[in-house]
Amino acid sequence: MTFPPLMAALVLAATALSASAEDVVVYSARAEQLIKPLFDAYTRDTGVQIKFITGAEGPLMERLKAEGQNTPADMLLTVDAGNLWQASHQGLLRPVQSKALQDNVPAHLRDPGNEWFGLSVRARTIVYNTTMVKPSELSTYEDLADPKWKGRLCLRTAKKVYNQSLVAMMITEHGEPKTEAIVKGWVNNLATAPFADDTKAMEAVANRQCAATVVNTYYYGRLMATQPKYPLAIFWPNQNLTSKEAGVHVNVSGAGVTRHAKNPAGAQKLIEWLSSDRAQNLFADNNLEYPVNPKVKPADTVAAWGSFQPNLINVKEAGSLQAQAVKLMDRVGYK
């Protein structure tokens, strides 16, 4: 070795553990506790080792960008189509031709250019206090802007990508001016300042600070598991399928193969496996999400919330319109 030995030891400590050709290296913005069980199962099934590192989406993407051709990462796993679209838009992913993925993932939940694929579905819906609201009073997301909800609405912060995606999808349906009016209506109806997370918003609804809110269903599932007495229920909005506002807002967590993957075939196999019957229940049930693969049934807890018609517009719109949505929310003072 030509380097001074101590230096080399410090520097190469990590490299010594470097991936063998078979291993798959994953950068994940999905939390460790939600993915490790799956990776462990994959290793048991196939013998392939998975090395992964977790982090926030923005820094992980910058990391991929800075590493360029010399990235160790084969696969990027993240939540929200907005982030997946950004990764693809910034040239961090590569297209994957896979019959299995075409079959397992519905068209509106994957990239039309095949750079990323949804792996679990997250529905963002209305949760209301059953002692304060009759289900017949509820209809659509848009209706929550109506003055009859004045002082009765709670929302999570506009800084969360889930709300940005929801507003972005509304822009595709209604255009920007009408969406802006709707979001302004929401802000006018707020009972209190937006919350930092979905759970806090639902707690406020349960404690009658407000009557209804908009959350991802798995937060509802988690909260009800610890607080079964809360008078909360799920309402599926926008189910009038003849109108233009058809469908519950859905989003995905998903994955793509990185542009400079060292083991693209291994990464593709892993994504295919994640979309398969075998993995889908593990993937979705672990976090009370919906399987993306239509052949796989959701967990019993999740199925008990009833079925709904999802919005079928391709979730990539959440990405392409995200910045527009953020600016719109800033303009109407949605914090």
Partner 1 sequence: MSVPEGSFPLPAAATAVTAPQKRFRVDGWVLFALLLAALVLVPVVVSLSSFARIDGSILSHLSEFVLPELLVNTFWLLLGVGFGVTLLGVSLAWLVAMCEFPGRRLFDWALLLPLALPAYVTAFVAIDLLDFSGPLLSWLREGWGITGLPEVRSRGGVVMVLSLALYPYVYLISKNAFATQGAMALEAAQSLGLSRTQGFVRVALPMARPWIVAGLMLALMETLADFGTMAIFNIDTFTTAIYKAWYSLFSLPAAAQLASVLILFVLVVVVLEQRSRAQMRYAAVGRSGVSRRIVLSPVMAALACLYSGLVLLLAFGVPVAQLVVWTLDVAVQDLDARYWSFAWHSLILSGLGALLVVVFSVLLAYAGRQRPSALMRWTQRLATLGYAFPGAVLAVGLFIPVAALDNALIDLARDWFGFQGTEIFKGSLLVMLLAYLVRFLAVGFGPMDSGLQRITRNVDEAARSLGTRTSRLLARVHLPMLRASLSTAAALAFVDIMKEMPITLMTRPFGWDTLAVRVYEMTSEGQWERAALPSLAIVLVGLVPILFLTWRADKLRC
Contacting positions for partner 1 (CB under 8 A): 10-15, 17-18, 25, 31-34, 51-59, 62-63, 66-72, 86, 157, 159, 161, 164, 192-200, 203-204, 206-207, 209, 219, 222, 226, 262, 287, 322-323, 326-327, 330-331, 335
Q: Residue 85: in which H helix or E strand, if any?
A: helix 81-89
Residue 257: CB minimum distance to partner 1, A = 16
Residue 20: CB minimum distance to partner 1, A = 11
Residue 18: CB minimum distance to partner 1, A = 5
Q: Which is nearer to partner 1, 295 or 331 (CB)?
A: 331
128 is an annotated ligand-binding site residue: no
And the tokens for 257?
């193969």
CA distances from 39 to 35, 121, 193, 273, 280 (A): 6, 19, 39, 10, 12
219 is an annotated ligand-binding site residue: yes
What pairing do the DSSP bridges indicate for beta strands 93-94 and 75-79?
Answer: unpaired
Residue 121: CB minimum distance to partner 1, A = 17
CA distances from 297 to 125, 201, 308 (A): 19, 29, 14
Determine the residue type at 221. Answer: G
Q: Which is nearer to partner 1, 98 or 217 (CB)?
A: 217
Q: Which is nearer to partner 1, 139 or 322 (CB)?
A: 322
Q: Which is nearer to partner 1, 54 or 239 (CB)?
A: 54
Beta-bridged to residue 118, according to DSSP, are 254
Burial (Cβ within 10 Å: 0-12, 13-18, ≥19) of residue 4: exposed
CA distance 106 to 113: 14
Residue 251: CB minimum distance to partner 1, A = 15
Q: Which is nearer to partner 1, 187 or 246 (CB)?
A: 187
Q: How many CB atoms lie within 10 A of CB 307?
A: 8
Binding residues: 218-219
Binding residues for Fe cation: 218-219
